[in-house]
Structures are given as C-alpha cells and as structure tokens.
Chains A and B, each alone.
Chain A
C-alpha cells in the first residue's frame, strides 16, 4: 500500500459525459501528479500540482482539467468524453521539495470505460 488513494476504482460512462476522478496523496506529500495509461500510448504524464498550484503540464487535452484543494487532495475532471479516453488514470504523489531525486508513489488507479 503506497498511501495514495484514488476513487472510484472503476467508472463506466457514455460518450459526451463528464466525470471526476479523485486522489488523496500520502500524508505529508505536497505534489500530486496525474497520468493516463492506455494500451497504445503507454504511461503519459498529464499534469502536476504542488501545494495547490499547477507546476507542470504534459499531454493533457483541453477537455481535461485538474485542481488541488487546500487539504491537498486533487481532482481530475474529464469532459465531453470520447471512446479513446478509456484508460487507466493514475495519481501519484511526492514530497515535492527534493527535485530530481524525488520518488513518486502511485495510487491503484481508476479504470475508466467510455461506451
């Protein structure tokens, strides 16, 4: 158990819908990262937040957005869903102050299926 929790574990929805994925980082971790894992694209970095502020952006679509709240939990919002958005979405957390040496700890993921 990494200490990172994600809800829900599974999500089935229809095209055009909007969903929210939730992540709680490890106690004491200030940074939260979101990743998308699909069969054809592998593990893709989406976005990072540090202590409530956006810190880095990866291959995140405009239909997707995220935020980190004062209690440090984070939500990833996916809207106007398409079939190709079906994937595993991982959240990871790290302390956020050690730079390149930091280790990220991953949650168990949310499996999203868009029908």
Chain B
C-alpha cells in the first residue's frame, strides 16, 4: 500500500541554519504531496503542497519539489528561525484507496537562538 517515510528527529539547529527534512514515498497512483506543520498544542496546518511531478510548493520560506524519479518530497528552508520549532509531517494523497491521506511519522525540529 501507499506509504510515507520521513527522517527521524529530533532535528536541532541554530537560528539561520539551513534545514532539510527528507521525505520519500511509495504510491501506486499519481499522488499529491503535502507538508503539514504542527506547533505545540495546536492542530496540523498545511505548509505547502505539490500535485504533480516537478511541481515546487513553497510558503513562508519553505520549499519542496515533487521528484517522481526519486519518489521524494524533501522540505528545505534556507534560514530557520526559533519560531519554526514544530513537528513537520510529510503526507500523500492518491487517487487509490478512496483518496485517503497517508502521513509520515513526523519530524520534530528544535531551533536554538
């Protein structure tokens, strides 16, 4: 079945460091890919998405490119801030299995001042 694998955390960075959180997927159909962010005590918020191969999603300085050849959707940010500390979830939604959204395990990011 469809699945999402993302790098284990926690990831600890200093402010202004470069961030990469790896995400790879397996899917039988043509999925859309998403990154969600969960701040402490809150629900998940959509960060960015890409709906077809080679699309780049971007928002708030974060970017991810849908790479079909490597089945990846890695999240990047050039300069992280303390306020980016949160848990990041990679997810896919495909046209098989009733359009269920499959989430990765989440990666916790700590950014130190």
Question: Which A residues have a C-beta under 8 Å from some C-beta of B?
Answer: 2, 4, 33, 42-43, 45, 48, 55-56, 58, 90, 92, 99-109
Contact = CB atoms under 8 A, between A and B. Distances in A.
A32 B74 CA distance: 28
A103 B89 contact: no
B101 A45 contact: yes
A105 B44 CA distance: 8
Name the interface size band of chain B: 20 to 34
In the A-B complex, the 4 residue pairs with the smallest Cβ-Cβ separation, listed nearest first, are A56-B98, A106-B43, A106-B44, A43-B103
B46 A103 contact: yes
B69 interface: no
Given A90-B44, A103-B46, 13 more contacts: A2-B43, A42-B106, A48-B98, A48-B100, A56-B98, A100-B30, A100-B94, A101-B93, A102-B93, A103-B49, A104-B101, A106-B36, A109-B42
